[in-house]
C-alpha cells in the first residue's frame, strides 16, 4: 500500500485554482520530490496532506488514513517542516526542540538517535536563541524539531530555499540517511538540480503536474537533439539564434546556451556556420543529453501550446 495516495485533488481559493485534480502515489521509503516554481501549488498540496487545509474535491489518503476524517491520527504521525522554518525565534535551540517533543508527548532522550546526526551539529549552540542562528543552522534545527516525535512520513516544504550550496548539499545527505532508516520523505524545491537526488519526482507548474517519474526516465523522454553552444559573445549568439528560422528553443544555460532545432538532421557545422554569418567566430558546439531543467521548460512550453 502506498504511503500517500492522492486522486483528483483540487483546491480553489475563491476563483483561483491552486491545485487542479492532482493524482499520484508515494511509496514507502521513497524520497519523493515536487519540483516547481513559486505559485505552482506545492505548499497548498503539502498543507492538505498534513491536514492543515481542506480540499475542494478529490481524495487524499496518507498512511492509509483519510486527510479530512482522520486528521487527529495523522497529526500525531506526520513530521512537517513548513517553508521558512516555523521555529520560535525567542526560544533557544534546546527550548525549541523540547517544545516540539513535548507537544507530541515525546522526549528528546527517547528519539535522540534519530536526530543525533543533525542535531549534534547545532548542539554546541543549544543555548543560543533560534533567531540568532544562520540559515543553515535554522534549517537543521527545524528538521530536528520535525523529527523528534519519530514520524512515519516527513513532509518538507522548500527546506533548501535561500540556503547556500554547502548547506543544501549537507541537507540532502541527511535526507538520504533518514531514508535509510525507513522514513518516507516528501520534499518540494524550486532548485531543479535537486531533482536528481530524489527517487521519484513530480514536475509541477500552475497547479498541474507536468510529469511524474524517476529523474532518469523523465530526462529520457526528451526527444529533441539538444546542442550546447559556448561563446564569449553570448548575448549576440542568443539574439541571433532567437531570430533563426529553424530554432525550436534557445535558452541561456550557465556558461553556455542550450539550443534545439526544428529540423531533424541539423549538425554542429550547420550551427557553427550560421553563427559565423552572425559574426560569432569563437563558438564551440556539442550535442548533449537533456537535464531535468531542459525537460521542465520543454513541458511548460508544450502545456502553453495546448491552452
Partner 1 sequence: MNNNKKVIEVTNLTRKFGKFTAVDSISFDVYEGEIFGFLGANGAGKTTAIKMLIGLLAPTSGKATVAGCDVYKQSEQIKKSIGYMSQKFSLYEDLTIAENISFYAGIYGLTDGQISEKTDLLLKKLNLENSRNELIKSLPLGWKQKLAFSVAIIHGPSIVFLDEPTGGVDPITRRQFWNLIYEAADNKKTIFVTTHYMDEAEYCDRVSIMVDGKIEALDSPTNLKSKYDSYTMNDVFIQLARKNQVQG
Binding site for partner 1 (CB under 8 A): 36-40, 121-122, 124-125, 134-137, 161-167, 169, 190-193, 205, 234-235, 238, 251-255, 293, 296-297, 300-301
Place of cell 534545527: 141
Give which of 177, 205, 200 is closest to 187, Cα–Cα.
Answer: 200
Nearer to partner 1, 8 or 232 (CB): 232
Closest CA to 172 of 151, 150, 149, 193: 193
Smallest gap from Cβ 140 to partner 1, in A, equals 10
Nearer to partner 1, 75 or 128 (CB): 128
Query: Least distance from C-beta 190 to partner 1, angstroms?
Result: 5
Question: Is the CB of 29 or the CB of 136 nearer to partner 1?
Answer: 136
> Helix H segments across the chain?
42-49, 71-77, 93-103, 108-119, 135-147, 165-180, 215-220, 234-242, 268-277, 292-306
Instruction: Say how far apart CA 188 and CA 195 lie, in whole Å.
Output: 9
Q: Which is nearer to partner 1, 148 or 292 (CB)?
A: 292
Q: How far is it, in rounded angstroms, from Cα 262 to Cα 277?
A: 19
Closer by beta carbon to partner 1, 244 or else 253: 253
Phi/psi-derived region of residue 117, left when phi > 0, alpha when psi is between -120 and 50, beta in every other case: alpha
User: Least separation, in Å, of the C-beta of 160 and partner 1?
Assistant: 9
List beta partners, residue 228. 258, 286
Q: Which is nearer to partner 1, 58 or 136 (CB)?
A: 136
Closest distance to partner 1 from the beta carbon of 4 (Å)? 25
CB proximity list for 236: less than 8 A, separation 6 or greater = 278, 279, 280
Q: How far is the CB of 191 from partner 1 (least distance, A)?
A: 7
Q: Is 273 exposed, middle or buried (0-12, 13-18, 19+ CB in 10 A)?
A: exposed
Distance between CA atoms of 157 and 180, rounded to whole angstroms? 20
- Cβ 173 to partner 1, closest distance in Å? 12
Amino acid at each position: 500500500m502506498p504511503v500517500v495516495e492522492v486522486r483528483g485533488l483540487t483546491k480553489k481559493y475563491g476563483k483561483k485554482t491552486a491545485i487542479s485534480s492532482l493524482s499520484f502515489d508515494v511509496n514507502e521509503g521513497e524520497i519523493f520530490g515536487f519540483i516547481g516554481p513559486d505559485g505552482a501549488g506545492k505548499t497548498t498540496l503539502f498543507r492538505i496532506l498534513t491536514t492543515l487545509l481542506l480540499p475542494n474535491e478529490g481524495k487524499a489518503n496518507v498512511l492509509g488514513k483519510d486527510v479530512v476524517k482522520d486528521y487527529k491520527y495523522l497529526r500525531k504521525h506526520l513530521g512537517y517542516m513548513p517553508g521558512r522554518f516555523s521555529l520560535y525565534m525567542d526560544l533557544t535551540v534546546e527550548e525549541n526542540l523540547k517544545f516540539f517533543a513535548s507537544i507530541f508527548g515525546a522526549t528528546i532522550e527517547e528519539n535522540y538517535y534519530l536526530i543525533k546526526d543533525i542535531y549534534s551539529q547545532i548542539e554546541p549552540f543549544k543555548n543560543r536563541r533560534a533567531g540568532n542562528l544562520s540559515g543553515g543552522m535554522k534549517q537543521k534545527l527545524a528538521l530536528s524539531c520535525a523529527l523528534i516525535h519519530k514520524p512515519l512520513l516527513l513532509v518538507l516544504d522548500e527546506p533548501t530555499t535561500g540556503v547556500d550550496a554547502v548547506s543544501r548539499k549537507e541537507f540532502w545527505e541527511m535526507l538520504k540517511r533518514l531514508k535509510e532508516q525507513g522514513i518516507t520523505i516528501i520534499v518540494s524545491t524550486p532548485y531543479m538540480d535537486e531533482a536528481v537526488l530524489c527517487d521519484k519526482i513530480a514536475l509541477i507548474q500552475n497547479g498541474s503536474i507536468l510529469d511524474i517519474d524517476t529523474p532518469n526516465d523523465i530526462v529520457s523522454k526528451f526527444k529533441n537533439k539538444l546542442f550546447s553552444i559556448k561563446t564569449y559573445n553570448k548575448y549576440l549568439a542568443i539574439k541571433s539564434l532567437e531570430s533563426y528560422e529553424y530554432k525550436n528553443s534557445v535558452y541561456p544555460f550557465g556558461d553556455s546556451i542550450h539550443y534545439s532545432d526544428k529540423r531533424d538532421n541539423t549538425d554542429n557545422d550547420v550551427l557553427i556556420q550560421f553563427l559565423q554569418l552572425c559574426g560569432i567566430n569563437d563558438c564551440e558546439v556539442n550535442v548533449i543529453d537533456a537535464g531535468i531543467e531542459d525537460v521542465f521548460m520543454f513541458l511548460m512550453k508544450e502545456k502553453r501550446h495546448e491552452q
